[in-house]
Structure 1
Amino acid sequence: MAIPGNMLSPATESMDPTYTGWRPRLNCSLLSATGGRNGAKTLAVRSGAAGEAQAETVTGYPVVAGQVYQVFADASSATEPERIGIEWLDATYTPVGSVLWSLTTSAASASWHRVGVAGMAPVGAVRARIVLSSTAGGAAVPHYWENVYLGPPVRTTGNLYSFGTESSEIDASGWKSEVNATISRQAPPVSWAVDWYWAGGQVLAATVIAAGNAAIASVERPAVTPGAEYLGYAYLAPPTTTSAAWIELRFYDAAGAQITATRSALAAATTGFQRQRVSAVAPAAAASARLAVGVDGATAGQVLRLEQAVIAVAPVLQAGSVLPYAEASFEQGVAGWTTTAGVATLARSSPWGAYAYDGSYALTITSTTATASTIRSAKFQLPAGSGGLSFRLRYTATVTAGGWSSSRGIRWYDATGTDLGLTKFTDSGLPASGWWLLGTDQTSPAGATQAAVEWTFTATAANSVLRLDRVALWQALPVMTVEVREATASVTLTARELAVGALLRVTRVTSSGARTLVRGPAGLYDGTVVITSDLAVIEDYEAPLGVPVYYIVDIIDATTGAVESRTSSQATIPHQDRNWAWLKDPGNPQRNMLVMVQRAPDWQRPIEQSAYVVRGRRTKVVLSGRRQGLEGDLAIWTLSDDQRTSLHWLLDSGNVLLWQAAPGMGVSDTYVNVGQVGEERTDGTAMEQMRAWTLPLTEADIPVTTGVNGSAGRTWIDVLAEFATCSGLVATYDTCEDLLLDHRAR
């Protein structure tokens, strides 16, 4: 799969089917090798003699001076370290300054590992070339490369930090020493997943100066909103598995004074990189936030390494859940959970990654005796008007020692905190192994404004251990709803409580029984799209006009192939005026528009034929191909300059369009290619805004791989974290649509 935003072609990125985008630069020859992860092939750079060997891209890629670009690749060699660089070029391909090199990896590694660097294109640079470098001990030594990227910095969507603080690919200036530490950059050979594009080749290193506690903090303090919950995280590599490494989320007021600090300790499983999370709600006076990381009780010379630092709005593990992230995922401890009765003890699982359904930790419940214990959360505020409504409690559980039975319920409170009682569901014993999704639906009493989750777990043997994770409590809503939007001639389908990690197929069904797959961001929802959230809002702009439709949502288990099907209610898109028709771009619905029809096409269906005259025979012999699709001219009007501009915008891409006429006009919804367009004034005067258009249409197949264009999750937060001024946007994006979709000019 191609790396998003890569300026390199897929073949130059992956070396598949071969390495034609690369050439020798110094002391080497190039060969195609196997064993790749981004495709089967890799590039082998074989040294001609002892010394440095370099390969480079054949072409230079367009860049804009003053903008930051990132390059990375995955490399493999059991005998030699490597580095990667960006060579800046002017219009004549003359180098501008020296090559921007990454640090050389600290050791050789036969495992695929990441090397990378980022920097600003200097004045005079209009192109950039990638250079791969390694130093061989002799002739004919191969060094393997693949998965190469050049483009804008790869940032975490929603990160409040700028790229320079999130990553250490440029320098270490985004961080400062707070206590007993020096800061530098290192390039250890770290093996990241082939599609984990947020990790570079250089990491931040905090070196302890003297025995004791050490800490560093970000220089940048991004703005936050009081009352919002934020999640901070980073990959930490501790000096030892027993090191007391931690990450801290701090909030500051408008004057820069620290208000609160929430710390989350790493229970290290290895000395490699492990993502540690910390979350907290911004207090009332909060104006900004920062992350700090450190290690307590360290010895002189020990090094804590850091990669991919993020502060973002905390994720919602279940749409509508009233539990904060800390209470639901147990990443930094047991939060507000307590044992209100019995002998059970509560703790966060250890070490990192040993037990988790979400994140890296789970709540661990241990009972030394075969008795019952009651576990209760803190109180959580319910949405206004919750009295008498149905709520759903859901969590995951796994038994890791002994045995358990459970009673799961919700305890309700009014606005004054008065206990309104417990509603619960009692079940039989919990399954003996594996993670299980458990839950109950309960109706809140009148006047309920707060709720707490309450479980009674009964151990069936001494020293029983139970792990819980991903707890959610939310108002139970229909799992499928549809809403018609007449202004955009679309249907919005909302699917709730989807199984994250399963595959999704969405089918539109008309009253005639015809079934069509619905389009999503990656193309049609055909059963290969992985579900990443329990909530999916799908906007169907290709539903027919004036015809009742309903939707079938299939949730497919990625392992077993088992299918859970759900069916929506019916919806009909009204279309009032038959003189108007829709022209739609399936991949860019923001360009869809209504046009006034002057004359529908007089269709033709061409066919390829060859006629042969046989001597002495009255009739010809005709050889025919298959009759082709419809062809004809659609005549329309635009009534204003704005409509004319919109139509040009719609037609400019040359994409396959969908033409939808009013029901009863004898024209089915048709996907079409539009040929050479004719635009004429209707009365010949210069000031007349009305135009007559002739659109030559050729019937086309439905675009299967075209996705609904967008940049998932992108908001102004991402823009502000990357661009300090509007001039930077003007230099990067040609149009507002390009800014919305993050389509950069270069």
Structure 2
Amino acid sequence: MAIPGNLLSSTTESIDPNTSGWTSKLNCTIAKGTGGRNGDGCLVVKSVAAGEIQARTVSSYPVVAGTVYQAFSDTAGVVAERIGIRWLTATGTEVSVTWSLTTAAASSGWHRVSVAGAAPATATQAQVLLSSTEVGSTVNHYWENVYLGLPIRTVGNLLNFNTESAEIDAAGWASITNAAISRQVPVVSWAVDAYNVGGHTLAITAVANGNASALAIDRPTVTPGTEYLAYAYLQPPTSGSTTWIELRFYDGSGTQIAAQKSTLAAPGTGMYRQRASLAAPSNAATCSVAAGVDSATAGQVLRLETVVVTAATKLQAGSVMPYADTGFEQGVAGWTTASGIAVLSRTTPWGNAYFEGSYALNVASSTATASTLRSAKFATPGAAGQNFRAQILAHVGAGSWTNITIKVRWYNASNTDLGASTGTLYAIPGGSWYALASDAVAPATATQAAIELIPTASATSSVLHIDQVVLWQVLPLTSVQAVDDSGYIQLTLRELPLDWLLTVYRITPDGARALVRGTSGLVNQQAITSDILVIEDHEAPIGVSVYYRIEMRSSPSAGPSSRTSAPAVLSLADINETWLKDPGNPQRNMRVVVQGPPDWEQPIQQSVQRVRGRRRAVVLSGIRGGLEGSLAVWTRTDEERIALRTLLSSGNTLLWQANPGMGVDDMYVSVAGVSEGRIGGPAQEPWRTWTLPLTEQDMPVTTAVNGAAGRTWQDVVTEFDTCADLLAVYATCEDLLLDRRMG
């Protein structure tokens, strides 16, 4: 599988099908081995004699001085190893090598090494170096899944790459108390496609007995009222160590005003992702993240990997509940036992029982009785008369439970209890996790709501696990909206089942179906990764009523569940205009004024044989081709002229659309050499006349819609200090949107 953004070829990355991307640099021979995970191949580097061995990439890859690059690889062997970026001048002279630290131990299992650094001032190209120091001759070391490129960071992270990863140095962190800050490379096996983990970790070492902690020096800005989520992999020194992560908020003067600590219930000494969440207070300006170990013994080390602070995502689109009360990652949050004997706690240890994250709410009943559990109250703006849905995931942990009732309890602005909904009763079988939901209409004066659960234990010492508790206003499962000015129909799909497969068809009045295009190509059995999906269908026909059929399958061979949308019609107000669209780059789509329609030709390959003595010729014909002709259009402004040049520059197959009744159907076309002319008048006249030679094409079936791939302005702000910094990296705004960098 190709690593996104890799400068290395797929062969060099995966060592499949051969080792042509690699060569010996020092004291070694190379060969192709088996047992890799990124393809079956791997690079075998064999020592010629005892001592350091090095292999390097055959090619050198262009770099921009001052820009940070990252290299990583998965490796295995009988000694520790390191990876380096070798910087070269334009003539191939070595400038320097940026080496990773050597791994803390050897391992015969695949584990990650990584390094990052800025290209030196005189560097114009770089190579990847793989190094180990073997204890004898003919000793093998193994490498695969090799990357060189721009740093791979967590999309949406408010912290910069070095604070997140410590791949450059430990300068992003400072000691709070009793801590020495450094970097280490423990041996950890990560998934082959876990590209933003592995390599260097931040090491917090207790200088003396007692609590030890460190703080990220980054202070990214936050929006008051927004809920944020901090998380990191923690590797405790012992399974009994008390280690934690803490999200902190600061006011404009830098004074800490709020914090939320989340303590790891470690099952061992591996890497465990721990989460902490909190809404930014009204006077919050910035945030940071801290981590530490309590009651440490001098010399004990807490390691951090992939530290992230990001705006918290809702586990159900539109849910009014914060992450802490939904996922129980840092405790029971605002949940209480309103009546009965049930005792509430967070499940333990980490990973023992959960549906999302690493923990769940643990409900323990010592007797076979019912208890009433209630969440905190949450604001429900505009709730009056609206239908809301409460949903939980439930799992029997021990004993047995007869049933559970799910209700919504309403409150007004004065916190007066308006009563609870009738609720929905469910039996609770053992075994799996079950999604249980209940709908309720908000009373006229309701402005707040709480979820109320009434589980009934049918045996003593029973335990029930609750996770992913959400409450949201019920909106249509499917909605459509024609956006005429931009030439597309917006299709919104809600409450999609995660990890199922999705197919979306556009259906016209004649019953014809066409797959709709998305960010991964035509939406045909694509994995569902979010419960809400918004699709912009830029290929919907003009002036024709269409609707959408949505099919969902639990597996490729399973029968589909389906839903359909309401009809929608896309309009083009001016019949003299026509749309020219790039299916893969809808940001380039534009309207132009038609000067003259094509006079079509349909070419055909023929061979005419005239037989002596025969009156009629023998004609051998191929299949008659598609339509060919020249479309004449005008652009009216300098902006339109530049936009049309941009649209045509890629040479991609375009979609030409006109209003019904204009004598042409929607058509995918290839545009040959174009002519651009003036219409007369002064030099300042912006109108231009264009002749576009068109050749009819099939609809592109492998093209996906380009986009920001989850990046937001926050990612830009995190990576670049000023707008001037962007000018040196991106040539156009479109390049910024698509993260298409110069150099």
Q: Considering the TM-score relative to the shorter chain, is it more than 0.5? A: yes
Tell me the equivalent position of 1:117. 115
Which moves more between the two structures, 719-728 or 729-738? Answer: 719-728
The 2-side partners of 1:353 and 1:667 are apart by: 61
CA 1:27 to 1:603, structure 2 compared with 1: closer, same or farther past 3 Å?
A: farther
Q: Read off the aligned partner of 1:84 and give its amino acid letter.
A: I
Tell me the equivalent position of 1:170. 168
Which moves more between the two structures, 64-73 or 12-21? Answer: 12-21
CA 1:560 to 1:395, structure 2 compared with 1: closer, same or farther past 3 Å?
A: farther
The 2-side partners of 1:612 and 1:129 are apart by: 62
Q: Give runs of aligned pairs for residues 423-502 of structure 1, distance below 5 A.
A: 423-502=421-500
Which moves more between the two structures, 272-281 or 605-614? Answer: 605-614
Tell me the equivalent position of 2:87. 88
Tell me the equivalent position of 1:101. 99
- Check conservation: 1:88, 1:129, Cα contact below 8 A: yes
- Check conservation: 1:644, 1:691, Cα contact below 8 A: yes
Q: Read off the aligned partner of 1:36 and give its amino acid letter.
A: G
- Check conservation: 1:403, 1:464, Cα contact below 8 A: yes
> Displacement of 1:618 after TM fit?
5.8
CA 1:559 to 1:453, structure 2 compared with 1: closer, same or farther past 3 Å?
A: farther
Q: Read off the aligned partner of 2:16 and give its amino acid letter.
A: D
> Displacement of 1:624 after TM fit?
4.4
Tell me the equivalent position of 1:391. 388
Tell me the equivalent position of 1:511. 509
> Displacement of 1:369 after TM fit?
0.6
Residue-by-residue CA offset, 1:409-460 (whole Å, 9 max, x unaligned) = 0111111011100113242421211011110111111100111100111001
Q: Percent identical across equivalent pairs?
A: 58
Residue-by-residue CA offset, 1:13-47 (whole Å, 9 max, x unaligned) = 22223232222222223222222222222222233
The 2-side partners of 1:268 and 1:560 are apart by: 40
Tell me the equivalent position of 1:66. 66
Aligned pairs, number: 742
Out of 556, 562, 565, the residue aligned to residue 568 of structure 1 is: 565
- Check conservation: 2:515, 2:524, Cα contact below 8 A: yes
Which moves more between the two structures, 582-591 or 146-155? Answer: 146-155
Tell me the equivalent position of 1:353. 351
> Displacement of 1:727 after TM fit?
3.1
Tell me, yes or no, if structure 1 residue 238 matches structure 2 residue 236: yes
Out of 546, 549, 556, the residue aligned to residue 546 of structure 2 is: 549
- Check conservation: 2:498, 2:529, Cα contact below 8 A: yes
* Structure 2: 5+ residue stretches without partners: none
CA 1:629 to 1:145, structure 2 compared with 1: closer, same or farther past 3 Å?
A: farther
Tell me the equivalent position of 2:215. 217
CA 1:606 to 1:35, structure 2 compared with 1: closer, same or farther past 3 Å?
A: farther
CA 1:477 to 1:354, structure 2 compared with 1: closer, same or farther past 3 Å?
A: same
Residue-by-residue CA offset, 1:276-315 (whole Å, 9 max, x unaligned) = 0000111122111111111111112111100111111111
Residue-by-residue CA offset, 1:173-198 (whole Å, 9 max, x unaligned) = 10111111111111112111111111
- SS in structure 1 of the partner of residue 4 of structure 2: coil
Which moves more between the two structures, 420-429 or 357-366? Answer: 420-429
Q: Read off the aligned partner of 1:307 and give its amino acid letter.
A: E
The 2-side partners of 1:741 and 1:713 are apart by: 10
Tell me, yes or no, if structure 1 residue 605 matches structure 2 residue 602: yes
The 2-side partners of 1:54 and 1:676 are apart by: 51
> Displacement of 1:336 after TM fit?
0.5
Tell me the equivalent position of 1:189. 187
CA 1:348 to 1:186, structure 2 compared with 1: closer, same or farther past 3 Å?
A: same
> Displacement of 1:680 after TM fit?
1.5
Tell me, yes or no, if structure 1 residue 635 matches structure 2 residue 632: yes
Tell me the equivalent position of 1:253. 251
The 1-side partners of 2:555 and 2:146 are apart by: 29
Which moves more between the two structures, 410-419 or 108-117? Answer: 108-117
* Structure 1: 5+ residue stretches without partners: none
Q: Read off the aligned partner of 1:728 and give its amino acid letter.
A: D
The 2-side partners of 1:310 and 1:569 are apart by: 41
Residue-by-residue CA offset, 1:552-602 (whole Å, 9 max, x unaligned) = 112221487342211000000012222211000111111100111122222
The 2-side partners of 1:609 and 1:57 are apart by: 52
CA 1:226 to 1:687, structure 2 compared with 1: closer, same or farther past 3 Å?
A: closer
- Check conservation: 1:374, 1:455, Cα contact below 8 A: yes
- Check conservation: 2:408, 2:423, Cα contact below 8 A: no
The 1-side partners of 2:107 and 2:487 are apart by: 56
Which moves more between the two structures, 677-686 or 348-357? Answer: 677-686
- Check conservation: 2:156, 2:714, Cα contact below 8 A: yes
Tell me, yes or no, if structure 1 residue 294 matches structure 2 residue 277: no
The 2-side partners of 1:745 and 1:268 are apart by: 45
CA 1:285 to 1:685, structure 2 compared with 1: closer, same or farther past 3 Å?
A: closer
TM-score (norm 2): 0.97
- Check conservation: 1:251, 1:261, Cα contact below 8 A: yes
Q: Read off the aligned partner of 1:51 and give its amino acid letter.
A: G
- SS in structure 2 of the partner of residue 727 of structure 1: helix
Q: Give runs of aligned pairs for residues 582-621 of structure 1, distance below 5 A.
A: 582-610=579-607
CA 1:100 to 1:683, structure 2 compared with 1: closer, same or farther past 3 Å?
A: same
Tell me the equivalent position of 2:647. 650
- Check conservation: 1:407, 1:424, Cα contact below 8 A: no
> Displacement of 1:507 after TM fit?
0.9
CA 1:665 to 1:40, structure 2 compared with 1: closer, same or farther past 3 Å?
A: farther
The 2-side partners of 1:227 and 1:265 are apart by: 24
Q: Read off the aligned partner of 2:627 and give its amino acid letter.
A: L
TM-score (norm 1): 0.97
The 2-side partners of 1:338 and 1:314 are apart by: 23
Tell me the equivalent position of 2:732. 735
The 2-side partners of 1:559 and 1:244 are apart by: 45
